Structure 1
Amino acid sequence: MAISRSATKRHGLPTVVQLRLTPTLAQAEALAAAVLLCNQAATVVSRLAWQHRTFAVVELHRLAYYEVRGQVAGLGAQAAVRAIARVSGAYANRRATKKRAHIFRPHGAIPYDARLMSWNRDARTVSLWTPTGRVAVPYAGRPEDLKAVDVLPVGEADLICRRGVWLLQVSLTMPKPRTREPVGGFVGVDQGVANLAVTCDGAVLPGPALAGPIGGNGHVRALRERRHRQRRRLQKKGTSAARRVLRRLAGREHRIMTDLNHQISKYVVREAERTGRGIALEDLQGIRGRVRAHRLQRRTLHNWAFAQQTTFTRYKAARAGVAFILVDTAYTS
């Protein structure tokens, strides 16, 4: 998000905390104007980048900086710089698959860096740039997140308005612990569709090893199938009430699966740390392109959140100083 790879390697591990902002009505209007303006600027830059096939950030800055400031009234200098960097990043990994210029949603999250925001940790306020001037907005969060913001180096932040609630997702740099030698070998984890994760010790996750409402993998599959049928039924109905229910349900399944992957990765890292072992996961990159599935199975395959589970396990292992490796999938199950 906000910290460069080189900075991460030198100084520590990136982490992200989420703070809740409580702006006044006038401040909320100013933040909303900033969101609209920055996304408009990013779309203008994106169209220029696509038209001239210029995606590298330095060349794109030379091409688009004065153009976007001339087209988008009220856009500050640093806000224009961030919009250009944001466009370059948007094209970095998906340029080959793009058929047209990338359009940024008017109410999408926008990035803030050190020149666009400043912190008053004693007063628990953050000063944010808006087109009408800076606003000092109070923030709140979990005690551990507030403590992290107080003591750790702060990087960039994303400003988000989600269902009328203003959030600031802040990247921080944590001290990087020394990775311990896996004297007891490795905890192997087999990831699958029928069972989300099975460790070499025989623990099936989710299952009795994880506390919570999710009883097991059968429960997960039934839950996702029920959500799919519910969405399909409401979409077919198409009434205003059905669309209202769809908006209320939006993202619920994603949140459930994200929480579940957090629980699985925490369990695996905790076991590896307790037994002095490292963690070995299958390298499943590109598996969707390699596997030929029946059309009735494609939805299940493409909803498989193995990449998220791998990412969570990797960064939690790095925080705990546990060795982490990816191994060839052949003959691992």
Structure 2
Amino acid sequence: MAIRRSATKRQGLPSVVQLRLTPSPAQADALAAAVLVSNQAATVVSRLAWQQRTFTVLELHRLAYYDVRAQVAGLGAQAAVRAIARVAGAYANRRATKKRAHIFRPHGAVPYDARLMSWNRDARTVSLWTPTGRVTVPYTSRAEDLKAVNTLPIGEADLIYRRGVWLLQVTLTLPKPRTSEPVNGFIGVDQGVANLAVTSDGAVLPSPALPGPINGNGHVRTLRERRHRQRRRLQAKGTPAARRVLRRLSGRERRMMTDLNHQISKHVVREAERTGQGIALEDLQGIRGRARAHRLQRRTLHNWALAQNIEFTRYKAERAGVAFVLVDPAYTSQACPGCGCVSRANRPARGRFVCTGCGLAGHADHIAARNIAARGAAGWAAVNQPHATGLPSARRDRESKPPASTGGS
């Protein structure tokens, strides 16, 4: 059975907090220059990488470092290094699908590492590199975010200019808790379009159990369709006033779905933590390429934030020490959790499941969630099977591999 466990080589878990910078007008101009110069440098490196078909960090550094510093005025040494790393990252996962060189937006977010910034936590200021020299800028945020910045190790940060406000999104390293054994099995979560999430316990999410104004899945679909019709109407109108409204509405639907996915993942993780269970979700990687949908349904399918909910559930489970696995999604909605019969005839309608073998009936999404939970438990047991050495099978296999050959006879 195919199963993917949530694993990390880090000693801690990443977390991101957002700080609001309050620069003076002169400091704001310096930060704007830093953003422009960094993105210009990244675009120069990207075009060179595309021309030479060179995409790894080391080879790209040898190829582009001196050229980009010569072409972009005011670019510092470490800023050039970060620009090269950004380009390598941009091509890392989507190189095969790109038809032209990647162009970085002039005002896009710019990453800062420890060599480009330094902190004075007592004074609540951060010193940031700019082409004209360092600027020391005060920052503010929520009390819990300020406490995290003061007490946790700080990693990289992204400098962002958004609607007249300077933000710094800072990566922190949280201590990683020990993963608890799922003594009471797994909660399976089936994701879909008609229902965002249905758990093996029978919960349909979102629901009135979650905070916020969203009443349910039908309400979500209604809001998304309304936003779509509004965007089409304004885009067709094309007047300056319509464009202003589009700018004001930009990102509203994305923020709504992000908030919903946060609420759903938080609810599932809290239930698993409370009941001593693990969490199992379907491995939906590549689902958009495999799934076939009517042309009127493609926009809905391709705009659905399935991967985001998986990622939110994963990191929340890691923080809580809850077991998390991804399972094979094949036939989860056509298999009977009672007798194991797998047949397309078990689905007489989209929302109905009636087993042709034993007669078990229920909602198709709930049946799928039960199958996901069972696969999660079986996969976890196989991965953590005890051995005479006293090590779980996954660790035993990892430690029994022979060392890599270093050459020679």
TM category (shorter chain) comes to over 0.9
Deviations 1:41-65 (Å, cap 9, x if unpaired)? Answer: 0000001101111100001000000
TM-score by length of 1: 0.97
1:26 aligned partner: 26
2:182 aligned partner: 182
Structure 2: how far apart are the matches of 1:9 and 1:153? 17
Give 3-state SS (helix, strand or coil) of 2:16's partner.
Answer: strand
1:169 aligned partner: 169
Cα deviation for residue 178 of structure 1 reads: 0.2
Amino acid at match of 2:323: A
- Kept after mapping to 2: 8 A contact 1:156/1:171: yes
1:131 aligned partner: 131
Structure 1: how far apart are the matches of 2:26 and 2:19? 20
- 1:1-333 to 2 correspondence within 5 Å? 9-332=9-332, 333=368
Structure 2: how far apart are the matches of 1:271 and 1:289? 32
Give 3-state SS (helix, strand or coil) of 2:213's partner.
Answer: coil
Give 3-state SS (helix, strand or coil) of 1:9's partner.
Answer: coil
Structure 1: how far apart are the matches of 2:298 and 2:232? 16
Aligned alpha-carbon RMSD (Å): 0.7
1:4 aligned partner: none
Give 3-state SS (helix, strand or coil) of 1:95's partner.
Answer: coil
- Kept after mapping to 2: 8 A contact 1:203/1:209: no
Give 3-state SS (helix, strand or coil) of 1:295's partner.
Answer: coil
Deviations 1:145-202 (Å, cap 9, x if unpaired)? Answer: 1111111111100000001110000011110100000000001111010000011111
Deviations 1:268-291 (Å, cap 9, x if unpaired)? Answer: 000000000000011111111111
Structure 1: how far apart are the matches of 2:80 and 2:329? 45
Give 3-state SS (helix, strand or coil) of 2:155's partner.
Answer: strand
Structure 2: how far apart are the matches of 1:265 and 1:275? 15
Structure 1: how far apart are the matches of 2:108 and 2:331? 43
Amino acid at match of 2:58: V
Deviations 1:14-35 (Å, cap 9, x if unpaired)? Answer: 1111111111100000000000
Gaps of 5+ in 2: 1-7, 333-367, 369-409
Amino acid at match of 2:19: L
Amino acid at match of 2:24: T
Structure 1: how far apart are the matches of 2:88 and 2:331? 40
Gaps of 5+ in 1: 1-7
Structure 2: how far apart are the matches of 1:136 and 1:273? 43
TM-score by length of 2: 0.79
- Name the count of aligned residue pairs: 326
Between the aligned residues of both structures, percent identity stands at 85
Structure 2: how far apart are the matches of 1:211 and 1:167? 27
Cα deviation for residue 322 of structure 1 reads: 0.0
- Kept after mapping to 2: 8 A contact 1:42/1:87: yes
Cα deviation for residue 89 of structure 1 reads: 0.5
Deviations 1:70-107 (Å, cap 9, x if unpaired)? Answer: 00011000000000001000000011011111110000
Give 3-state SS (helix, strand or coil) of 1:269's partner.
Answer: helix
Cα deviation for residue 331 of structure 1 reads: 3.6
Q: Which runs of 4+ in 1 moved over 6 A?
A: none
Cα deviation for residue 11 of structure 1 reads: 1.7
Structure 1: how far apart are the matches of 2:257 and 2:167? 21
Cα deviation for residue 328 of structure 1 reads: 1.3
Give 3-state SS (helix, strand or coil) of 2:32's partner.
Answer: helix
Larger Rg: 2
